[in-house]
Amino acid sequence: MIFIGKYDRQYIGILAGFIIPLLISAGIWLFSEGNRTPVEYFRRIAEADILTHIISLCVFPNIFLFLLFNRLDMLRATRGVLAITIFWAVLVFAVKFLL
């Protein structure tokens, strides 16, 4: 119980909810076809008009993180994950409708 109390902070949830999609996107880039630099890769997915799909795919694991924190009764960290997931959702809508 000391472990849970120590890490039950909102900034832990925000940090985890921000880093996990970045790690997922790095994994998608590593396993994508061809040896491209990250700039070339993002330019290619932007030209293919699938940028919002990739962002949504990367944010999807935040659901599992949210459920894990909720199950462990780490409600402050859960709130942080929810906040950063809402940020990602706003980013997806902005990219989709403004670009």
pLDDT tens across 32-52, in order?
887 788 889 889 888 989 999
Instruction: Give the global pTM.
Output: 0.86
Model pLDDT for residues 58-98, shown as the tens digit of each residue:
999 999 999 999 999 999 999 999 999 999 999 999 999 98
Q: What pLDDT does residue 1 have?
A: 60
DSSP string, 12-63: HHHHHHHHHHHHHHHHHHHTSSS---HHHHHHHHHHTT-HHHHHHHHHTHHH
CB 64 within 8 A of CB 16: no
Q: Are 11 and 80 in contact (CB under 8 A)?
A: yes
Quote the pLDDT of residue 6: 85
| C-beta separation of 75 from 6 below 8 A | no
Q: What is the pLDDT of residue 66?
A: 96
